[in-house]
Amino acid sequence: MKTNQLMQVALNGGEVEVFHKTAMGDLTQLWSAGNSSRVNEGKSFAKLAQFLKKESTLEFIEEGEKRGKACVHVSGKGRAARTWASVEFMVYAAEYLSVSFHWDVIECFVEGKILEYRDSGGDKFKALNVTIDRCLPGREDKDSNKGIYMHVAKLIREKCGLGDRSWNAATADELRMRDDYENRIADWLDMGLVRDWDHLKELIEKL
């Protein structure tokens, strides 16, 4: 994906909007989700303003800047202002909020690689459409394949259990499934295993 799309990332305690290209997330939303975890653990609310003023936090931000990585960025003004944080800073903030929430953030962004899969899936679907044009028997007219692209996309969504949610709100597991399915479908076409469009639909249904 070439555009810096804003995606919804579900964490224990709430959702956080994150730009998948720059990997900058809404720090206020992350803080709210982390505070929900704190309450469930019987802890008091933590104040974001106090955390941002802590000497250790300022040192972390300064070190990030030395390494060429902006940790915190404010966009807009007044009530429209939003505070964005890098993945590294979100992980750092999560540690301050709650041990369990810290692990949730690590598993989502570091181990789950949700942003990488979000990017990869979109690019691979574009490549899959090119493979359909090149390899699907009986559909040599590229213009006639546009409906097939949409149908294949719908079938993949159904197999991944996405429901009414957009890919911008998908979990890391759902994105990994999408990535795997797109690879397998492209391989079938490249290997000449698909007889025609109806056969391709049957194969996808059996995934």
What element of type H or E holds 86? strand 82-86
pLDDT by position in tens, the chain (length 207):
446 678 888 888 888 998 877 889 999 999 999 999 999 899 999 999 999 999 999 999 999 999 999 999 988 888 788 999 999 999 999 999 999 999 989 888 776 566 676 666 677 788 888 899 889 887 666 566 678 888 999 999 899 988 888 776 777 788 888 888 999 999 999 999 999 999 999 999 998
First vs last C-alpha separation in the chain: 25
Check whether residue 179 and residue 131 sit in a common domain. Answer: yes
In 3D space, the residue among 102, 103, 128, 123 whose CA is nearest the CA of residue 183 turns out to be 128
Task: Give a yes or no: residue 1 inside a domain.
Answer: no
Check whether residue 17 and residue 101 sit in a common domain. Answer: yes
Check whether residue 136 and residue 91 sit in a common domain. Answer: no
| φ and ψ at residue 31, rounded to 5 degrees | -65, -40
CA distance 207 to 142: 25
Check whether residue 16 and residue 99 sit in a common domain. Answer: yes
Check whether residue 51 and residue 127 sit in a common domain. Answer: no
Check whether residue 120 and residue 107 sit in a common domain. Answer: no
Where residue 19 sits, what CATH number does that domain have?
A: 3.10.260
Print the domain residue range for 79.
6-111
Check whether residue 136 and residue 46 sit in a common domain. Answer: no
Q: How many domains does the chain have?
A: 2
The first and second tokens of residue 37, run together, are 């975890």
Residue that is last in its domain, among 57, 80, 111: 111
